Structure 1
Amino acid sequence: MFAFLLEKLSIWFETAERRRREEYLAQSSDIVQLEQRIRSLETNGYML
């Protein structure tokens, strides 16, 4: 039971983090800024 809850919680956090990254990227004003943000996430990790 504990493992099930832990797995569900982990999935919830991963989904929230993915949404946060997607919102950050969606705020780009043009393709150049989008590419810079993607590169930044790739180099500095995915923590915003």
Structure 2
Amino acid sequence: MFAYFFRVIIDLLDRAEHHRRDTYLASAVDIFELERRMRLIESAD
């Protein structure tokens, strides 16, 4: 039972992080800013 709740919490955190990254990328003002942000995210992983 504990493992199930732990997995649910991990899934929720993953979804929140994905949404945060999508929002960050979508707010880029041009293609150059988008590419810079994508490289920044990739280098952090």
What TM-score does the superposition give when structure 2 sets the normalisation length? 0.93
**Higher relative contact order structure (alpha carbons within 8 Å, sequence separation ≥ 6):** 1
Q: Percent identity?
A: 38
Is the helix fraction higher in 1 or 2? 2
Mark the runs of 5 or more structure 2 residues left unpaired by the alignment. none
What value does the CA root-mean-square deviation take over the aligned residues? 0.9
Q: Post-superposition, which runs of at least 4 consecutive aligned residues in structure 1 deviate over 3 A?
A: none
Name the count of aligned residue pairs: 45
What TM-score does the superposition give when structure 1 sets the normalisation length? 0.88
Mark the runs of 5 or more structure 1 residues left unpaired by the alignment. none
